[in-house]
Structure 1
């Protein structure tokens, strides 16, 4: 979608001054005149509310200046949250040491501590032996939330 690509470029520009930040996803939902723009940004050490606010102001002012949306819209800039799937190599790197639930393209599920991230695979700690899972075989990964 063209809208999402333009907003993605604005978001990349807004985070460019902080090398520890990276763009995870951009979604535009709703109908013309009542749209919701969701921008998900993360950082190698997380992201603060102040940083999200700064990015939101920058993107918002660019959208207003360009009169990008006809009608009203809502812009939300936030971190992806724990229930959001891990999609980027950099997100995997950030989560080394955490327990992942991994759904494979075959439909099988894997769970284990993320030990290592390579260019083409991740390594999960297994009960008997460690397992290497290629990115191309992973449908979705999520950090397992533990309330111990």
Structure 2
């Protein structure tokens, strides 16, 4: 989708104004004339509402200036939330020490504490042993939320 690509480019530029922030994903939902633009960002040390607001204003101004969205739209900038899959190397690094639920490409589910992120793999601490998983094996990973 052309609009999504343009917005992703604008969001990438806006995020570079912050050393510790990075773009996770951009989604455009709805029909032309009534769309919702979702920009998901994260930071090495979390993200503040103020940072989301600054990025939203910058991207919104650029969208208006370039005038490529047809009709009305809403723009939301936020962190991805815990139920959003981990997709970037930098997200794995940020989540060292947290429990992950990892689905492998062969359908096997693996859980454990993320103890290490290597160039090509992650290491999960499990009860019996540490398990190394190559990124190529991983279909998706999510932070496992526990309420103790």
2: CA distance, partners of 1:129 / 1:31: 50
> Does residue 144 in structure 1 map to residue 144 in structure 2?
yes
Partner residue of 1:59?
59
Cα distance, 1:68 vs structure 2 = 1.6
Partner residue of 1:120?
120
Runs of 4+ aligned residues of structure 1 deviating over 2 Å after TM superposition are none
> Does residue 104 in structure 1 map to residue 104 in structure 2?
yes
Within 5 Å, which residues of 2 pair with 1:1-148?
1-148=1-148
Cα distance, 1:70 vs structure 2 = 1.2
Q: What is the CA deviation profile of residues 44-97 of structure 1, one whole-angstrom value per residue up to 9, with x for unaligned ones?
A: 000000100000000000001111211100110000000100000000000000
How large is the Cα RMSD of the aligned pairs?
Answer: 0.7
1: CA distance, partners of 2:67 / 2:40: 22
- Kept after mapping to 1: 8 A contact 2:3/2:69: no
Cα distance, 1:128 vs structure 2 = 1.2
Report how many aligned residue pairs link the two structures: 148
TM-score (norm 1): 0.98
- Kept after mapping to 1: 8 A contact 2:22/2:42: yes
